[in-house]
Amino acid sequence: MSNLKDEQWSDQRLVTAVLNGHRHAFGLIIKKTEGLVAQMTFKMINSPGDRKDIAQDVYLKAFKNLRGFKFQSKLSTWIGQIAYNTCLHYLEKKKLVLIDNFGEDGEIPENNFNKDVRNDTEEKLFSKELANMLHTEIEQLKPLYKTLISLYHQEDLSYAEIAEITSLPEGTVKNYIFRARKMLKENILLKHKRNEL
């Protein structure tokens, strides 16, 4: 194998190298996708021991099925699909609730968590407190909402990429992300008001 840096390997070269018996190349695939797989398993699976087993299972499935990868999507998206489906199968087997069922919210506005920029130490403390509160509230969401929020806001994946990974229609992905944001906002406001009493 040539001395190209790890990040310079294209999906096609990596897959070809693995299929030709170069184990180092599969290590590079893991290195390129482990953040995505970790995000998904951490958000969908509560048990730390099971997370590790699931991540190993994801890469075992990817390795076994690599010959069938057709380059119709990015390799990371394909491995993301495997991770999502593996987590989903685990949750179904454990009969755990993936999302809460409640009414449709209609139109989905394109608003991210907007931050007003104030000044100095007070603002930094407030931002840190808000970030901690947000992290805590995200962890309280049902697995699917948690996962979608993470993929969109932390992994910076597009709605289309998330739809491809989860096999959900793009409109459903947008709707679920909107619902998750709405729940987060309501829960944070509720706790903030309770703390003021």
pLDDT the model gives residue 165 = 92
CATH number for 24: 1.10.1740.10
Do the Cβ atoms of 45 and 87 come closer than 8 Å? yes
Final residue in a domain of this structure, among 78, 93, 108: 93
Q: Confidence class of residue 17 from pLDDT cuts 50, 70 and 90?
A: very high
Examine residue 26 and state whether it is found in any structural domain, yes or no.
Answer: yes
The span from the CA of 95 to the CA of 97, in Å, is 7
Examine residue 99 and state whether it is found in any structural domain, yes or no.
Answer: no
* Count of structural domains, the chain: 2
Range of the domain at 155: 120-196
Q: Which of 38-52, 70-84, 118-132 shows the lowest mean pLDDT across its residues?
A: 118-132
Q: Confidence class of residue 124 from pLDDT cuts 50, 70 and 90?
A: low
